[in-house]
Amino acid sequence: MGYKETFWMACDSTEQLRAEYGPFHTREEAETEARKLGFGYLLRYEHILGPKEEIEEVRCVFIELPDAPSTVKSGVTFHTRCASCGEAATHELSWQAEVWADIHEFEHSRHKVRLFEHAIGEGLREIGDWRGHAA
């Protein structure tokens, strides 16, 4: 057996059309991000590399997180809005908002996307520091 390279992903399901976020070097990093995004699974990729560092085999292992939060809150939607250009979108799941924000900020350098949660009967509230760093 050749050299084994392992990396971790946070994912929302075990289905073929799943959302994955990562990669991460450690399980702890992936688990922290999975819980932040409301994902219930980790995916461990193992690449078996040959003598010329080409991938000879790929192994995938799903790990269900205990006490994983539900990805859907009843009556809650997420709203993203760019503070720079005003472009906005509505999302059913928090991870969809994060993906939209990542794409928007990648395509438009120096733009900053804000995240809002709308709950029926509670109105709209901004989720501050949702990216885990100060503005």
Q: What is the pLDDT along the chain (135 residues), one digit of tens a residue?
A: 578 889 999 988 887 778 889 999 999 999 998 888 888 899 999 988 888 888 888 899 999 998 765 545 557 888 999 999 999 998 988 888 888 999 999 999 999 999 998 877 677 888 887 776 544
Q: Is 0.85 topped by the overall pTM?
A: no
Q: Where are the beta strands (DSSP E) in the chain?
A: 3-11, 20-24, 41-49, 55-64, 76-82, 88-91, 113-119, 123-126
